[in-house]
Amino acid sequence: MAPETLARAEGVTGELTLRRRVAADPRVDPVYELIVDGVFLMDTAETSTERLLADAVLNRLSVPRRILVGGLGLGVTLTELLTDVRVDRVDVVEIEPLLVRWLRSGLVPPVDATLADPRVHVAVADVGTVIHPRNIGGQTLGGIMLGLGHAVSQKWVYDKQYGVPLAK
């Protein structure tokens, strides 16, 4: 069965597509996928790296009261952080307003409930401007985490006939 497109629109970072598909493993059904400019970014079938990222921050901080997460993704890291009772506040900085709106609307349950948690504060902005060393708020955070999974796996795809880049 082909994935069902739940939402598609042109955003700040390019075309965003949110899809739902049936998983091979019924324990993780359904699976939600996030695609940016035609390139798979993440899904909810394999979330170990998102959970490990949260665990790494929580295990390194003796008192992880306030944490900044660069990028909302599909809310997995945020959800994992909120399972720790020591966390008083999680600031999520997401550059893509469409993604925030889609997730708040309930397109990927239960992320809307996670975003409604009073400990969660979402800012639509470029995380680089938030953690800039001249920004006093960026100097007072207890922990900062940025997901790099997609960035390290990016590659240029070239047109076979003309040799020009098609995507990155």
Determine the pLDDT at residue 126.
Answer: 83
25-48 confidence digits (pLDDT tens): 777 779 999 999 999 999 998 899
Distance CA 66, CA 86 (A): 9
Determine the pLDDT at residue 30.
Answer: 92
Determine the pLDDT at residue 137.
Answer: 57
Average pLDDT over residues 8-17: 94
103-150 confidence digits (pLDDT tens): 999 999 989 999 999 999 999 998 877 776 565 555 455 555 555 444
81-94 confidence digits (pLDDT tens): 999 999 999 999 99
Q: Flag whether the pTM goes above 0.85.
A: no
Flag whether pLDDT at 77 surpasses 60.
yes
For 133: left if phi > 0, alpha if psi spans -120 to 50, otherwise beta; the answer is: alpha
